[in-house]
C-alpha cells in the first residue's frame, strides 16, 4: 500500500495514534493531526512536530472541514465514530480506519486476533509465550499495550513469523479488510455503557473481528446467545464453537496432551483461556513441549487476579484491570475456595448504561463478606447495596487499608473494582500499582491508627 503524499489525518493522540503518526510520517504521507485542546499546549509537542508541521495540528472542535477533505482518517480508539467532528467526513464518504486496519495492510504473516469482554490479556500473553517456547518469534501487541503500527514501521518485519493481537471493541469498530488467520471471541457480556447505548451495538463491534475472514481462516468462539447465532452465517471462516461452561470437558481435552499439575492461574475461566490458546495453535500445527513449558511456568499478567506478595496479615489479590461486573464476578469465582473472610474493593468511575449491579447483587452475597467502596461511585453503590451485606464507604484505597490495619483484618482482600479508574487514576495500571505500593509499604507504618500514605 502506497501512502506517499496521501492526505491522511490522525484523530487522537493516544498511544496508538502516536504510533500511527510516526509510521505514516515514515511512509511519506501528507499528514495532519487532530486532538483536544490548543495544539501549542499538547503534550510532547516537540515529538509530534517532528512528524507533522504545527500548522497541520488542529483542535478537534475546529477540524470538521479539514477532516472531510482527507483521503483517510486514522481514528484513535478513545474517539467514537459518532463524534460530531466526523459528521461531515462521514457524509463525504471519507475512509475512517483504526490503527489496526492501517498496520494490517503491511502485515504479511499470519495474525491471531483475540477479543472478548474478559480474558483477552491473559489469552494473548499465553499465546505469545507458547509461540516463543515453541521456537517462534511472535509480535504481541494491540490493546495489550504495544500498537500494531510499531510492527508496521519496523524495517525487518519478516523477523516475526506470527502476530498476536489483543483487540478491544473500540479498535474493531473501524475496520475495512482486516483478516486474521485465527480469530478468538472469548465471551460477551455488557460493558462500555458510556459508548454503546445497547448491548447489541457492543457485541456487533466485537464481531467485526470476523468480517474479513475467508475459508482458510478459523473463528473460535464461545457458545453464546441469539446475537452470535444470528451473525455466524455471514462469517466465511471455519467455525469452532466452544462450550465455555463445560469446564470439566475442556479440562479433559487439555489433559489428553498436557499436564495441569503446575498450572498456577486461579479459576475455571483461566482454564477456558488456556483451552482457547491451545486450540488456536492446534490450527497452526503447533504443539508439544513448548506449550507444556508455558503451562508450567506461566503466571498471571499484572493487574489480573495477581497475588500480591508481602508481610501484611491477610492475603491480597490485585485485579485492577476489572472494569465491568462480569470481570469482577469471574475473579470472585476464581477465589471461591478462599471466600471465607473475603473482602472486595469495588467502585470507580460511573460510565452510564449498565453500571448498576442489578442481577449481580445476589451473587455478590454468595462470595463476599464485606465490601469496601471506593471512587466516585461510592455513594451510588452504597444505596444499591444497602441492607444486602456489610459495606464500608472508604472512597480511597488508603482508607481501605487504614481500616484493615485498625481492625486487624486477616482474611482475603481482593481489588476487583468493576468500574473504570478514570475518576482517581490515569488508567487501571496506575490503580493497580497504587494498591501494590500501599501494600509494599505496609510494614513501614507500624503505629496503631497511623494512616497508610
Model pTM?
A: 0.87
Q: What gap in Å lies between CA 275 and CA 245, rounded to an integer?
A: 12
pLDDT of residue 449: 45
d(Cα 152, Cα 24) in Å, to the nearest integer?
10
Please give the average per-residue pLDDT across 103-124, as a whole number: 96
pLDDT band at 414 (very low <50, low <70, confident <90, very high): very high
How far does the chain reach from its first CA to its final CA, in angstroms? 53
Handedness of CA 79, 85, 91, 93 (dihedral sign): negative
Residue 387 pLDDT: 87
pLDDT of residue 361: 85
Predicted confidence band at 453 (pLDDT cuts at 50, 70, 90)? Answer: low
Tell me the pLDDT tens digit for each residue of 205-229.
Answer: 999 999 999 999 999 999 987 888 8
> pLDDT per residue over 261-297, tens digit each?
999 998 899 999 999 999 999 999 999 999 999 999 9
357 pLDDT tier (thresholds 50, 70, 90): confident
Q: Which CATH class is domain 306-444?
A: alpha beta
Contact 415, 308 (CB under 8 A): no
Looking at every residue in the chain, the average pLDDT score rounds to 93
Torsion of CA 149, 305, 393, 386, to 10 degrees: 110
C-alpha span between 306 and 17 (Å, rounded):
30
Name the residue among 185, 356, 159 with its Cα closest to residue 273: 185
Strand partners, 142: 166
Render pLDDT for 237-262 as a digit per residue (tens, 0 to 9): 999 999 999 989 999 999 999 999 99
7-97 and 306-444 have identical folds? no
Q: In the chain, where are the structural domains located?
A: 7-97, 101-297, 306-444
Q: Rounded to the nearest 5°, which phi and psi values hold at 414?
A: -115, 120
Residue 353 pLDDT greater than 50, yes or no: yes
Is residue 452's pLDDT more than 60? no
Q: 7-97, what's its fold?
A: Rossmann fold (3.40.50)
Percent of the chain with pLDDT over 90: 81
197 pLDDT more than 70: yes
Cβ atoms of 108 and 157 within 8 Å: the answer is yes
> Model confidence at 173, in pLDDT bands (50, 70, 90)?
very high
Domain 101-297 has CATH 3.40.1190.10: yes
Amino acid at each position: 500500500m502506497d501512502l506517499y503524499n496521501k492526505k491522511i489525518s490522525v484523530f487522537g493522540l493516544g498511544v496508538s495514534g502516536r504510533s500511527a503518526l510516526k509510521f505514516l510520517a515514515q511512509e511519506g504521507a501528507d499528514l495532519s493531526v487532530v486532538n483536544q485542546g490548543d495544539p501549542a499546549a499538547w503534550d510532547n509537542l516537540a515529538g509530534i512536530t517532528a512528524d507533522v508541521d504545527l500548522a497541520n495540528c488542529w483542535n478537534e472542535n475546529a477540524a470538521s472541514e479539514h477532516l472531510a477533505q482527507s483521503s483517510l482518517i486514522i481514528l484513535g480508539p478513545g474517539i467514537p465514530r459518532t463524534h460530531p467532528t466526523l459528521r461531515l467526513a462521514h457524509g463525504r464518504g471519507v475512509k475512517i480506519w483504526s490503527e489496526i486496519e492501517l498496520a494490517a495492510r503491511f502485515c504479511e504473516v499470519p495474525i491471531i486476533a483475540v477479543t472478548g469482554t474478559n480474558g483477552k490479556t491473559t489469552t494473548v500473553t499465553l499465546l505469545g509465550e507458547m509461540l516463543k517456547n515453541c521456537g517462534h518469534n511472535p509480535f504481541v501487541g494491540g490493546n495489550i499495550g504495544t500498537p500494531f503500527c510499531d510492527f508496521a514501521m519496523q524495517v525487518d518485519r519478516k523477523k516475526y513469523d506470527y502476530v498476536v493481537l489483543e483487540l478491544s471493541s473500540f479498535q474493531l469498530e473501524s475496520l475495512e479488510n482486516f483478516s486474521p488467520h485465527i480469530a478468538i471471541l472469548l465471551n460477551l457480556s455488557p460493558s462500555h455503557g458510556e459508548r454503546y447505548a445497547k448491548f447489541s451495538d457492543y457485541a456487533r463491534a466485537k464481531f467485526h473481528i470476523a468480517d474479513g475472514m475467508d475459508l482458510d481462516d478459523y473463528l473460535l468462539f464461545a457458545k453464546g446467545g441469539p446475537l452470535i447465532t444470528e451473525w455466524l452465517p455471514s462469517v466465511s471462516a471455519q467455525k469452532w464453537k466452544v462450550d465455555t461452561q463445560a469446564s470439566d470437558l475442556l479440562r479433559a481435552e487439555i489433559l489428553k496432551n498436557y499436564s495441569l499439575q503446575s498450572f498456577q492461574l486461579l479459576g475455571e475461566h483461566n482454564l477456558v483461556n488456556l483451552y482457547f490458546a491451545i486450540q488456536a495453535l492446534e490450527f497452526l500445527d503447533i504443539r508439544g513441549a513448548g506449550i507444556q513449558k508455558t503451562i508450567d511456568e506461566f503466571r498471571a499478567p499484572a493487574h489480573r487476579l495477581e497475588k500480591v506478595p508481602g508481610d501484611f496479615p491477610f492475603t491480597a489479590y490485585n485485579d485492577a484491570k476489572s472494569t465491568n461486573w462480569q470481570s469482577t464476578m469471574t475473579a470472585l469465582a476464581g477465589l471461591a475456595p478462599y471466600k471465607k473472610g473475603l473482602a472486595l474493593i469495588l467502585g470507580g468511575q460511573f460510565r452510564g448504561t449498565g453500571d448498576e449491579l442489578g442481577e449481580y447483587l445476589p451473587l455478590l452475597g454468595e462470595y463476599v463478606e464485606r465490601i469496601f467502596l471506593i471512587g466516585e461511585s461510592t455513594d451510588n453503590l452504597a444505596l444499591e447495596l444497602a441492607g444486602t451485606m456489610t459495606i464500608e464507604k472508604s472512597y480511597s484505597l488508603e482508607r481501605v487499608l487504614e481500616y484493615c490495619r485498625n481492625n486487624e483484618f486477616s482474611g482475603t482482600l481482593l481489588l476487583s473494582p468493576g468500574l473504570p479508574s478514570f475518576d482517581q487514576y490515569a488508567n487501571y495500571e496506575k490503580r493497580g500499582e497504587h494498591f501494590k505500593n500501599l501494600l509494599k509499604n505496609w510494614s513501614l507504618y507500624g503505629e496503631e491508627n497511623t494512616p497508610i500514605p
